A = this chain, B = another copy of it.
Amino acid sequence: VPATLNDVARRSGVSTKTVSRVVNHERHVHSDTRERVLLAIEELGYRPNAVARSLVRKRSLTIGVLTYGLERYAPSRFLIGAQHEAAKHGYALLLALLQPELPIRMDEVLEDLLSRRVDGIIWQAPDVANTHRWITPQRLAHMPPIVLSGLPNPHVTTVTVDNYVGGLLAVEHLLAQQWQRIGYLAGPAELPPNSERWRGWHDALCGAGREPDESLVVSGVGTAQGGAGAMSALLGRRPDVDAVFCFNDAMALGAMRAATLAGRRPGVDLGVVGYDDVAEAAFYTPPLTTVRQRNAEMGVEAVRALVRAIELQQSGDERPVPLLIQSRPELVVRESSLPHGVGHR
Contact = CB atoms under 8 A, between A and B. Distances in A.
B97 A49 contact: no
B116 A97 contact: no
Contacts of A279: 223-225, 250
Nearest to A109: B87
A181 interface: no
A52 interface: yes
A285 interface: yes
A52 B55 contact: yes
A79 interface: yes
B92 A116 contact: yes
Contacts of A48: 115
A26 interface: no
Given A79-B70, A224-B282, A95 B97 contact: no
Interface in A74-129: 76-77, 79-80, 83-84, 87, 92-97, 99, 111-112, 114-117
Given A45-B142, A54-B51, A60-B51, A80 B97 contact: yes
Contacts of A260: 285
Nearest to A266: B285
A209 interface: no
A293 B225 CA distance: 19
A76 B70 contact: yes
B95 A93 contact: yes
A201 to B, nearest CB: 23
Contact of A117 (B49, B111, B253): B49
Interface in A22-49: 45, 47-49
Contact of A115 (B47, B80, B93): B47
Contacts of A71: 76-77, 80
A183 interface: no
A31 to B, nearest CB: 24
Given A47-B114, A49-B117, A223-B280, 11 more contacts: A50-B115, A71-B76, A76-B76, A92-B112, A92-B116, A224-B279, A224-B283, A253-B280, A253-B283, A256-B283, A257-B283
7 contacts: A51-B51, A71-B80, A92-B96, A92-B116, A95-B95, A225-B282, A257-B283
